[in-house]
Amino acid sequence: MILLDPKDLERPENDEGTTALMQATVAFFEAKGKERLIGDYYARGWYADFLEYAKEHRLLARMCTPSGEGAADARWDTWQVCQFAEILGFYGLQYWYTWQVSVLGLGPIWMSPNKAIRQRAAEALEDGGIFAFGLSEKTHGADIYSTDMVLTPDGDGWKANGRKYYIGNGNAAAIVSTFGRFADSDEYVFFASDPKHECYHLIQNVVASQNYVSEFELKDYPVSEAEILHRGRDAWNAALNTVNIGKYNLGWASIGICTHALYEAIAHANNRVLYGSPVTDMTHVRRMFVDAYCRLVAMKLFALRASDYMRAASREDRRYLLYNPMVKMKVTTQGEEVIDLLWDAIAAKGFEKDTYFGQAAVDIRALPKLEGTVHVNIALIVKFMANYFFNPGDYPELGQQSEPRNDDFLFDQGGAGGLGQIQFHDYRKTLERFEKIANVKVFAEQVEQFRTLLATDPPGPEQMKDVDFLLAGGNIFALVVYAHSFSRTRRSMASTTTCWARSSTSWSGTCHGTRSPSPCRRARPTSRSRGVGTWFGGRSPIPSDTLGYGRSRYARSTGPTRWRRRTDREDRSPSAVPCSSRAGRPAGQQVGAEAERGRDRRRRPADRPERHGRCQQAHDHTRRACCPIASGHLEEGVAERVSSPSGLSRWPAADRRRNGSAGRVPNGRRP
Ligand SMILES: Cc1cc2nc3c(=O)[nH]c(=O)nc-3n(C[C@H](O)[C@H](O)[C@H](O)COP(=O)(O)OP(=O)(O)OC[C@H]3O[C@@H](n4cnc5c(N)ncnc54)[C@H](O)[C@@H]3O)c2cc1C
């Protein structure tokens, strides 16, 4: 069975240590029991018992210390990480979270040249320590350029002043990897702070949960060279590269949550007898379970495939930078869909206080929003669109990467820029292999139409500034990548194509042109397809390179290592910054000078009215098109086709939309 079975954790690829670790973790939760797990969840008590268990079994020490930094049995092994994250999600997101923010906190440490701190971290892990990642601030959200954690020179070192917000484990971490900037040079910096220090003021837990998601303030906190983890460009890269590692785990938390919720829901529905038959005898309930199951299997297949790219990554092969945000964004939003479907099937049961489902329904919503929202991650992946569709690279076939080994590259990822240059293997070859499946054929035709649209009719200037438009296109792109990458085996393809092919049907035929008889080999790259790069790469009015996302608003000052924030004046000056790759446009210019030009354009009518008209039409179609899978339009469409003679199947999707409980809405707007 592809889904997690806590009673059967033996896997041929795992070494003894991994299997034993997973079995011990499951045994801890099973011994605690569902009643106490749920009781603790609602009592919102700190999970000291879990941390004690983790210390005793050296859980974090073994899983979160790269080879060579600690004990001989320690390694950072993504294959192991996937299984562990899935188990923690299965038993409760709170347990996953305390481990996850430790992963994030350790990122800048393991990437640091500061050997003494690495040593300190390894010792703390052996001692059962947890860690924290101090990036976010209350007023700035995703805009981490604007950090107000400031280090002012003081003798041989500095005094740090500023507040951090939403910092998990900030109450009890052995080390908080804290992001800020130097007051004098404006360079970014990552430094280690200690919650036990008297100048570290813990203010509050900003959430009502078992997790401690802290607000804290550093007041004249002394920082010496010994606490510095990274400076300048390296500090920025460490932030982004850490999130690259961490955000992958969010998909696995979703998979674990959905798996547990599926088991609980189907057990309930099958045992509930209405009108003399189990609820699972009703065809619409069966459909919802099948739909939920297929989506969940697809989530897992995609996340597994993404782990291969993470483990095989190198300076030459950076394809993981597309698959990571896809796991973060697409797998987690599919997780929401799964829970919605299950909830519709079990109805009132999902509210009860003694079900796992009650917490799953709440916690599943968190994952698309943390570590960069869905929007932020789509804004990131659209940078790959041009090469993905029009400039594939040659790569040898990549097999499953499940062997026990340390993933060295993850802590040596190098610069976070150059996303637009990354090439991908040709998705069309994969779709062609499966074209005998009718739904795949339909899907391939739709992909080809989208590709033709990109190649022949790039958007006008107004549309280029429209982030909503960008997100709509990005959602369609995400669907292509998702379908391409989880289709590794014919079996998986056959079992899951129904879901996405049906989902994508709503945007079929909305693009220009007629359907091609051989859909996978139509639109050739033309000079006009460069528009895709411009469309999705360079002209967004907001920076899409936050939290992992390519070039920043940096200015290079006196040397290559002196990377710092750009001043407002530099933002408006095209001359002070290096050139960006694709459009020959100075990097960062889009933020200042481009924005001014944009304001100027807004005063004038659109300069390409005929294209604008057609593209607006495409935009409208696209907006409708990309939504179904995310917004419940799919269910509505299906609902219209489903007859309900008994009147039993009052369709819940409409209710969800009416009361807004679906959580996400198309393109960020309430319908
Ligand atoms: C429970 C919890 C735990 C957390 N733990 C940590 C932690 O341990 N450490 C830490 O550093 N942070 C942590 N965070 C912060 C978390 O990572 C951010 O909340 C998250 O990245 C989203 O930021 P925001 O909520 O401030 O949204 P905002 O940045 O305020 O965004 C507002 C809106 O603008 C959109 N938007 C912003 N930028 C872009 C863009 N570039 N492109 C397109 N749309 C954009 C967003 O999608 C959103 O719709 C935590 C948050 C929570 C709720």
Residue 486, pLDDT score: 66
pLDDT digit string, tens, across residues 48-69: 999 999 999 999 999 999 999 9
Percent of all residues in the chain with a pLDDT value above 70, rounded to a whole number: 72
- pLDDT above 90 for 590: no
Helix axes 332-346, 652-659, angle to 10 degrees: 120
What local confidence, expressed as pLDDT, does residue 529 receive?
A: 43
Res. 602: pLDDT tops 90 = no
Ligand 1, pocket-test mutation among 242, 370, 545, most atoms within 8 A of CB: 370
Question: Which residue's alpha carbon is at the smallest distance from atom 35 of ligand 1?
Answer: 375
Rounded to the nearest angstrom, the distance between the alpha carbon of 487 and the centre of ligand 1 is 31
Compute the distance between CA of residue 634 and CA of residue 505 in angstroms, rounded to an integer. 9
Ligand 1 mean position, distance from CA 143 (Å): 9
- Is the CB of residue 135 less than 8 Å from the CB of residue 195? no
Please report which helix (H) or strand (E) contains residue 150, including its range.
strand 150-154
Mean pLDDT taken over the chain: 79
Cα 547 to averaged position of ligand 1 atoms, centre (Å): 9
Report the residue among 164, 373, 465, 468 best suited for mutation to probe ligand 1: largest number of ligand atoms under 8 A from its CB: 373
Mutate to test the pocket of ligand 1, among 133, 166, 549 (most ligand atoms within 8 A of CB): 166
Instruction: Let me know if 275 is exposed, middle or buried by CB neighbors in 10 A (0-12, 13-18, 19+).
Output: exposed
Q: Which of 149-158, 169-178, 411-420 has the lowest mean pLDDT?
A: 411-420
- pLDDT tens digit sequence for 536-574: 443 444 444 444 323 333 333 333 333 444 444 444 333
3-state SS of 129-149 is: CCEEEECCCCCCCCCHHHCCC
Give me the mean pLDDT over the 262-289 stretch: 97
The answer to whether the beta carbons of residues 282 and 362 sit under 8 Å apart is no
232 three-class SS: helix
**332 in a structural domain:** no
Query: Whole domain around residue 497: which residue ranges?
Result: 431-631
Q: Answer yes or no: are the C-beta atoms of 480 and 450 closer than 8 Å.
A: yes
Between the CA of 373 and the centroid of ligand 1 the distance, in Å, is 6
Give the Å distance between the CA of 620 and the centre of ligand 1. Answer: 28
Has residue 83 been placed in a domain? no
**Cα–ligand 1 centroid distance for 631 (angstroms):** 21
Residue 496 domain-assigned (yes or no): yes
Under a CB-based contact definition with an 8 Å cutoff, are residues 384 and 419 in contact?
yes
Q: Lowest-confidence range among 24-28, 168-172, 493-497, 643-647? A: 643-647
In a domain, 549, yes or no: yes
Is the pLDDT reported for residue 407 higher than 60?
A: yes
**Does some domain include residue 389?**
no
Residue 266's contacts (CB-CB under 8 Å, 6 or more residues apart) are: 280, 289
Whole-number Cα distances in Å, 419 to 101, 247, 320, 415, 581: 26, 17, 11, 10, 10
616 part of a folded domain: yes
The pLDDT confidence band at residue 153, using thresholds 50, 70 and 90, is: very high
Report the nearest atom of ligand 1 relative to the CA of 211.
1
Q: Output the CA 141–ligand 1 centroid distance in Å.
A: 5
Both tokens of 200, joined, read 């570290």
The atom of ligand 1 lying closest to the CA of 543 is 41
Residues with CB under 6 A from ligand 1: 101, 133, 135-136, 141-142, 166-168, 207, 213, 369-373, 375-376, 379, 467, 542-544, 546
Q: Is the pLDDT of residue 658 over 90?
A: no
Say what the pLDDT of residue 374 is.
93
Ligand 1 pocket: which of 136, 171, 380 to mutate (most atoms within 8 A of CB)? 136
Residue 369 three-state SS:
coil
Token representation of residue 639: 């609902």
Range among 269-283, 478-492, 618-632 rated most confident? 269-283
Ligand 1 centre to CA of 474 (Å) is: 19
pLDDT given at position 188: 97
Q: What does the CA dihedral 253, 255, 258, 264 come to, rounded to 10 degrees? A: -100
CA of 138 to the centre of ligand 1 (A): 10
pLDDT band for position 11 (50/70/90)? Answer: confident
Residue whose Cα lies nearest atom 2 of ligand 1: it is 166
**Looking at 10-14, 161-165, 333-337, 499-503, which range is the least confident one?**
499-503
Put simply, whether the predicted model's pTM sits higher than 0.85 gets the answer no
Whether pLDDT at 616 is above 80: no
**Cβ atoms of residues 160 and 149 within 8 Å:** yes
Report the pLDDT value the prediction gives residue 331, as an integer from 0 to 100.
98
Task: State both tokens at 178.
Answer: 């804290």
Lookup: tokens for 112:
């640091």
Cα dihedral sign, 501-505-510-514: positive
Percent above pLDDT 90 for the chain = 68
Q: Does residue 538 fall inside a structural domain?
A: yes
Residue 372 Cα to ligand 1 midpoint, Å, equals 5
Report the separation in Å between the CA atom of 615 and the middle of ligand 1, taken as the mean of its atom positions.
Answer: 31
Q: Which atom of ligand 1 is nearest to the CA of 545?
A: 41
Give the pLDDT score at 80: 94
Does the structure show a pLDDT above 60 at 667? no
Q: Which two tokens stand for residue 80?
A: 């192991």
Residue 164, pLDDT above cutoff 90: yes
Predicted confidence at residue 459, as pLDDT, reads: 73
Nearest CA owner, ligand 1 atom 26: 141
- Of 20-34, 87-101, 571-585, the range with the lowest mean pLDDT is 571-585
Average pLDDT over residues 111-121: 98
Q: How confident is the model at residue 222 (pLDDT cuts 50, 70, 90)?
A: very high
Instruction: Judge whether 596 lies within some domain.
Output: yes
| 576 has pLDDT over 50 | no
Q: How many domains does the chain fold into? A: 1
| Sign of the four-CA dihedral 278, 282, 283, 287 | negative
- Atom number in ligand 1 closest to CA 143: 29
- Residue whose CA lies nearest to ligand 1 atom number 28: 141
Distance CA 359, CA 361 (A): 5
**473-484 residues labelled b (16+ CB within 10 A) or e (exposed):** bbbbbbbbbbbb
Residue 219 in 3-state DSSP? strand
- For ligand 1, atom 30, which residue shows the shortest CA distance? 141
Rounded mean pLDDT, 429-445: 93
Q: How far is the CA of 146 from the centre of ligand 1 (A)?
A: 14
